Chains A and B, each alone.
Chain A
Amino acid sequence: MEIIENNVVNHTPIIEAESIVIRFSGDSGDGMQLTGNQFTDTAAFVGNDLSTFPDFPAEIRAPIGTTAGVSGFQVHFGSKEIFTPGDEFDVLVAMNSAALKVDLPRLKKGGIIITNIAGFDKKNLSLAGYADGINPLEDGSLNDYTVHKIDVTKLTKECLAGTGLGMKEIERSKNMFVLGLLFWMFDEPMDYTITFINEKFAKKQDIADANIKTLKAGWNFGDHTEIFASRFKVSPAKLPKGTYRNITGNHATAIGLVAASEISGLPLFLGSYPITPASDVLHELSKYKTSNVKTFQAEDEIAAICSAIGASYAGGFGVTTTSGPGMSLKTEAIGLATILEIPLLIVNIQRGGPSTGLPTKTEQSDLLQAMYGRHGEGPIPVIAASSPADCFNTIIEGSRIAIEHMTPVIVLTDGYIANGSEPWRFPTADQLPKINVKFVTEANGPDGTFLAYKRDEKLVRPWVKPGTKGLMHRIGGLEKHADTGNVSYDAKNHGIMTEIREAKIQRIADYIPLAKVECGNDKGNLLVLGWGSTDGAIKTVVHELFKEGYDVAHLHLRYLNPFPKNLGEILKNYTQVLVPEMNCGQLLKLVRAKYLVDAIPYNKVQGQPFTTSELKNKILELLK
Chain B
Amino acid sequence: MSTTTETDVMPKLTAKDFASNQEVKWCPGCGDYSILKQVQTVFPDFGIPKEDIVFISGIGCAARFTYYMDTYGMHSIHGRAAAIASGVKTLNPHLSVWVVSGDGDAFSIGGNHFIHLMRKNFDLNYLVFNNQIYGLTKGQYSPTSEKGKVAKSTPYGSVEEPFNPAELALGAKSTFVSRSLDRDPKHMQMVLKRANEHKGTSFVEIYQNCPVFNDGTYFAFSEKETKKEQAIFVEQGKPLVFGATEDKGIKFDGLHPIIVNLNETGVSVNDLWIHDEKDKTKASILTRFADNEFKGESFPRPFGVFYQEERSTCEEAIENQIKELTARKGKPSLDKILSGDKTWTIL
State the A residues within 8 Å of B (CB).
Answer: 41, 44-47, 192, 236, 239-247, 255, 258-259, 262, 267, 269, 271, 288-291, 294, 296, 298-300, 302-304, 306-316, 318, 332-333, 335-336, 340, 426-429, 432, 465-478, 486-487
Interface centre among B86, B326, B335 (most CB of A within 10 A): B86
B339 lies within 8 A of chain A by Cβ: yes
Known: A290-B326, A466-B52. A255 touches B87 (CB 8 A): no
What separation, in Å, do the CA atoms of A465 and B2 have in the docked complex? 12
Cβ-defined partner of A474 (8 Å) among B73, B94, B326, B337: B73
Interface centre among A46, A258, A294, A315 (most CB of B within 10 A): A294
Chain A residue contacts of B67, Cβ below 8 A: 474, 476, 486-487
Closest CB pairs A-B (n = 9): A310-B87, A476-B75, A307-B87, A306-B83, A303-B83, A466-B72, A310-B84, A299-B116, A311-B87
Cβ-defined partner of A269 (8 Å) among B49, B80, B87, B113: B87
B11 lies within 8 A of chain A by Cβ: no
Chain A residue contacts of B92, Cβ below 8 A: 314-316, 465-467
The answer to whether B338 touches A426, judged by C-beta atoms less than 8 angstroms apart, is: yes
B154 lies within 8 A of chain A by Cβ: no
Cβ-defined partner of B51 (8 Å) among A267, A269, A291, A468: A468
The answer to whether B88 touches A313, judged by C-beta atoms less than 8 angstroms apart, is: yes
Q: Which of B319-341 contact A (CB under 8 A)?
A: 321-322, 325-326, 329-335, 337-340
**B52 vs chain A, min Cβ distance (A):** 6
Interface of A is mostly: mixed
Chain A residue contacts of B347, Cβ below 8 A: 241
Chain B residue contacts of A314, Cβ below 8 A: 54, 87-89, 91-92, 95
Known: A41-B342, A302-B83, A313-B88. A294 touches B318 (CB 8 A): yes
What separation, in Å, do the CA atoms of A606 and B74 have in the docked complex? 43
The answer to whether A477 touches B339, judged by C-beta atoms less than 8 angstroms apart, is: no
Interface centre among B51, B83, B326 (most CB of A within 10 A): B83
The answer to whether A487 touches B22, judged by C-beta atoms less than 8 angstroms apart, is: yes
B14 lies within 8 A of chain A by Cβ: no
The chain A residue sitting closest to B92, CB to CB, is A314
Chain B residue contacts of A475, Cβ below 8 A: 73-75
**B185 vs chain A, min Cβ distance (A):** 25
The answer to whether A303 touches B86, judged by C-beta atoms less than 8 angstroms apart, is: yes
What separation, in Å, do the CA atoms of A243 and B335 have in the docked complex? 12
What separation, in Å, do the CA atoms of A471 and B70 have in the docked complex? 10
Chain A residue contacts of B59, Cβ below 8 A: 477
B85 lies within 8 A of chain A by Cβ: yes
Chain A residue contacts of B54, Cβ below 8 A: 314, 466
The answer to whether A269 touches B326, judged by C-beta atoms less than 8 angstroms apart, is: no
What separation, in Å, do the CA atoms of A288 and B75 have in the docked complex? 32
What separation, in Å, do the CA atoms of A258 and B334 have in the docked complex? 8
The answer to whether A311 touches B91, judged by C-beta atoms less than 8 angstroms apart, is: yes
The answer to whether B343 touches A299, judged by C-beta atoms less than 8 angstroms apart, is: no
What separation, in Å, do the CA atoms of A291 and B340 have in the docked complex? 14
The chain A residue sitting closest to B86, CB to CB, is A307
What separation, in Å, do the CA atoms of A487 and B69 have in the docked complex? 14
The answer to whether B75 touches A477, judged by C-beta atoms less than 8 angstroms apart, is: yes
Cβ-defined partner of A291 (8 Å) among B22, B318, B337: B337
What separation, in Å, do the CA atoms of A310 and B337 have in the docked complex? 27
Cβ-defined partner of B335 (8 Å) among A271, A302, A429, A476: A429
Chain A residue contacts of B71, Cβ below 8 A: 472
B38 lies within 8 A of chain A by Cβ: no
Known: A241-B346, A244-B345, A310-B88. A333 touches B338 (CB 8 A): no
B210 lies within 8 A of chain A by Cβ: no
